[in-house]
Structure 1
Amino acid sequence: MKKYFMYAIMFFLPSNVIGQDDTNGQMEKQTNEGNQFETDSIKSLFFVSKESLFSDTDVIFNTRFAFDSNFLDGNHVLSSFNVNQFRFEIKGKIHDKVYFRFRNRYNREPIPGNLDNISRAVDIAFVTIDLSPTTNFTLGKLCADWGGWEFDLNPIDILAYNDIIENSDNFLVGAGIAHTFEDKKNSISFQILNSRTKTYEEQYGASSPPNLKPSEFPLAAVVNWRSSFFNGKIETTYSYSFFNEAQGAHMNYIALGNKFKARNFLLYYDFQYSIEGLDRKGIISGIIDSKYQYAAQKAVYMGNWIRAEYLVTPKINLLLTLMSNKHYWNDNPDPNGSSKLSNSYGIIPTIQYSPFKNFNMNFYLGYVARKFNYSSYAEKAFDVKDYNTGLLSFGIIAPFLVL
């Protein structure tokens, strides 16, 4: 088993991790932050003779493979086979109080961020240390602990993200602490992260407003509260985030996630609200760029996300996702203008079939319908037009646990 585990590590880790020159004496191991360890330390971890090490380690191929047909304004554009998601993941326990998790995405170009110095293809790479039975400390590249279930779900289970999540930097380098209360029904976490993966200059470039200067502390703070009620039938995950984008320009983000669970039924509802001193999502900036060369200031995004799942039989699951968003520009200099520039809507009906008992692999058929509407003011002022997109997708979804 140890031999096969090592083959898997060597084959799936990015080549720039495996193929470093031995003479430099160090090897980068992505666990939360890209910490570096001596080569001998890496060998002692993976070639240790204790079989218990591997019993505490999982290797997972998070996969979604499909045949996709794309549509624009009702017209067929392209049909092709796609590996929509392939995220290689290793996680486990390496000490009584130390855990690690690493996940690399093979559907994103592995370009290191010039702020955090780690590939954007790496989703997460962190170490967690138990400070007590109820409190732990985590360091490395983390998931921003935003409230809401949309971002909490495995990415292979999301055929399309809502506007705010789709246009955010979700995986950031930093540190966090989490505490679970004695009732086991409530927990709270706090993170300090880089506010982005790139420097201010690379993120905004020539579109940076001339009245703004880069911050010397491009950091973010995220607070999350999770709770459970009525014997687990209702669960919540609420968060507030503060991002320091530039001097005098910040982002305040609130996400409220709610989940209701019955015997064969799940219902999720997320509310998302982002107030951005400098338009980080880029949607408003994209609308106004025909007239204004700089990124928008005082952009506001409000989103709603609903997902319902009904297990008809042990093998057949029906899903329906609904999305809506509103996009505002509160800094519009036009005295006769409107702050509301656009809406977007989405509906995703899906059916899943699980042919194997006790094995999480689903065949699915889903359709992603999105509609983008601009206000009459935006159409006249910025020469934009409404449009809609469609995606018919048939394939498999599976977190293949290979070890």
Structure 2
Amino acid sequence: MKKTLLWFCLLAWCTAVQAQQDPLIDPEEGRTLLERFTKGGKSISSSSMNLQFYTSAAANFIDGELDEAAFKINGVRLELLGDFGKNFSYHFRQSFNKYSNPRAVDNLSSSVECAYVDWRMKPHFTLTVGKQAIQLSGYEYWVNAIRVREFSDFNNYIDCYQAGVNGAIIFSPTQRLNVQVLNNSAAKGSDSFIYGLPEGVTKVKVPVLSTLNWDGYFFDKGLNLRYSASWGQLAGKRDLLYLTAGNVWEKGPIVAYADFMYSREGIDTKGLISELSAALPDGGVTAQHVNYFTTILNFDYRVHEHWNLYAKGAYELGGVYKKNGPYEKGLYRRTWNAQLCAEYFPMDNSELRIYLHLLYKAHGLTSRARALEADDYTSQRISLGLVYTIPVF
């Protein structure tokens, strides 16, 4: 074990990608490549292009034994954003690490994360049309993905970018209400579920997800409360409900948050319960009538302008609320993870960051899960990585 750790430390360079639609880097931050090459003589004020490169080396362990050590390109993303006219803006972002076949529902490659236009129809109302993030809550879900080294299972298994429309009612600079209707790719058919649609369940004809979200800031924008409720159909007589909440304190050197996320699913969209049946003699069965609950706690402290430290933990439950197939009613999985991370910023802005991240995760199963011939285990990871976000123009 000691030799493995020593070998890895000499190796050098974790993983994460998920759900936010904030720019990869603030257009106001740093000089762009265009300005550098032209010595500040040229600029494009109405548009921005950003390129993000994310690489790492990670050693993964299962129950303390080395499973894999490898270099990875965790993410390469390109985005364009800007405005046109007086009341319109746009945002396009593509990931080069995602499966790129067009989706059956929105007819767009899944590698395109954002492709939308904002129309400020009135001073207090903005309409967003196109592919965008579902307006769920929780800091981990919504924050720029480069700030997350390991997502919770809950967020990691949400297909968070969908095509549709969002209306934002802006009550004040610190209070807004979002009303959103998007495609629900989790309801597009058998391919949405790990072992296909359960027998006797019919495909839904209107696969949409509706969300109501409130976003508020208090105490000079130090406290951000973000709460959401989402509902949609997965299949005939099979619904999906999300209740999510994010509570964030971000002031000075401190970022602290507590996220609470709940889902009640007529069919298991995440597949975390369904995968427990993989070893059954007749093969795996897609679970129905499942629920998940996740709690995430995080504390960041910027100890120096070039150094940031954080500790994070997540506790997650998954169960079945109504007997179906081989699944008895009750709790099936109880997982938790603990994380420590140190980040170094060599430059005066946040374009470049180098990090060392430690992860311990326990995948605990109950007697109901073990009755399906599933086994619990622990996983560990040590990773050293680099993220560079380049403002091209």
TM bucket normalised to smaller: 0.7 to 0.9
Q: Say which SS state the counterpart of residue 180 (structure 1) adopts.
A: strand
Structure-2 separation of matches of 1:237 and 1:301? 19
- Give the 5 Å matches for 1:304-343: 304-333=295-324, 337=328, 339-343=330-334
Q: Which residue of 1 aligns with 2:169?
A: 179
Shift of 1:283: 0.7
Instruction: Give the secondary-structure state (helix, strand or coil) at the position aligned to 1:111.
Output: coil
**Which residue does the alignment assign to 1:300?**
291
Give the Cα–Cα distance (whole angstroms) in 2 for the partners of residues 71 and 261 of structure 1.
Answer: 34
Q: TM-score under structure 2 normalisation?
A: 0.85
How far apart, CA to CA, are the structure 2 residues paired with 1:284 and 1:335? 11
The Cα shift of 1:293 comes to 4.6
The CA deviation string for residues 241-286 of structure 1, in whole angstroms up to 9 with x for no partner, is 0121111100100110000123211101100000001111111111
- d(CA) in 2 for partners of 1:369, 1:141: 35
User: Are positions 1:93 and 2:83 aligned together?
Assistant: yes
Mean CA deviation greater in 76-85 or 286-295: 286-295
Letter in 2 for 1:73: D
Deviations 1:68-108 (A, max 9, x none): 21111111122222111211111111221111101111111
Q: Compare 304-313 and 206-215 and name the one that shifted more.
A: 206-215
Residue identity matched to 1:342 = R
Query: Match for 2:238: what amino acid?
Result: A
- How many residues align? The count is 351
The match for 1:115 is 105
Instruction: String of CA shifts for 1:8-56, please: whole Å, max 9, x gaps.
Output: xxxxxxxxxxxxxxxxxxxxxxxxxxxxxxxxxxxxxxxxxxx999212
Which residue in 1 is equivalent to 2:130? 140
Shift of 1:290: 3.8
Structure with the higher fraction of residues in helix conformation: 1
Structure 2 partner of 1:358: 349
User: 1:169 aligned to 143, 159, 164, which one?
Assistant: 159
Distance 1:195 1:232 in 2: 33
CA contact (8 A) 1:270 1:304 kept: yes
Question: Is the contact between residue 113 and residue 197 of structure 1 (CA under 8 Å) also seen in structure 2?
Answer: no
Report the AA paired with residue 74 of structure 2. Answer: N
Contact 2:292 2:319 in 1 (8 A): yes
Give the TM-score of the pair, scaled to structure 1.
0.83
Matching residue within 243, 248, 251 for 1:259:
248
Q: Distance in 2 between matches of 1:246 and 1:78?
A: 39
Give the fraction of aligned pairs with identical amino acids, expressed as a percent.
23
Match of 1:64 in 2: 54
SS at match of 1:295: coil
Instruction: Tell me: CA distance 1:240–1:336, structure 2 relative to 1, closer, same or farther (3 Å).
Output: closer
Structure 1 unaligned segments of length 5 or more: list them: 1-50
Unaligned runs of 5+ in 2: 1-40
3-state DSSP class of the match of 2:139?
coil
8 Å CA contact 1:65–1:396 kept in 2: the answer is yes
Q: Is the 8 A contact 2:60 2:68 kept in 1?
A: yes
Residue of structure 2 in register with 1:196 after alignment: 185
Instruction: Report the aligned-residue RMSD.
Output: 2.1
Q: Counterparts of 2:194 and 2:351 in 1: how far apart (Å)?
A: 44
Inter-partner Cα distance in structure 2 for 1:206 and 1:226: 37
Which residue does 2:373 correspond to in 1?
Answer: 383
SS at structure 2 position matched to 1:332 = coil
Provide the secondary structure at the position in 1 that maps to 2:198: coil
- Alpha-carbon distance between aligned partners in 1 of 2:51 and 2:58, rounded to the nearest angstrom: 21
Contact 1:308–1:321 (CA under 8 A) maintained in structure 2? yes
Deviation at 1:359, TM superposition (A): 4.6
Determine the structure 2 residue equivalent to 1:48.
Answer: none
Residue 350 of structure 1, CA deviation: 0.4
Q: 2: distance between equivalents of 1:222 and 1:362?
A: 34
Q: How far apart are 1:178 and its partner, in Å?
A: 0.6
- Is 1:349 matched with 2:336? no
Residue in structure 2 matching 1:219, options 205, 208, 231: 208
Q: Find the counterpart in structure 1 of residue 236 from structure 2.
A: 247
* C-alpha distance in 1 between matches for 2:56 and 2:327: 48
Give, in whole Å, the separation in 2 of the partners of 1:253 and 1:52.
47
What letter corresponds to residue 347 of structure 2 in structure 1?
Answer: F
Is 1:279 the counterpart of 2:279? The answer is no
CA contact (8 A) 1:173 1:193 kept: yes
1:232 matched to which residue of 2? 221
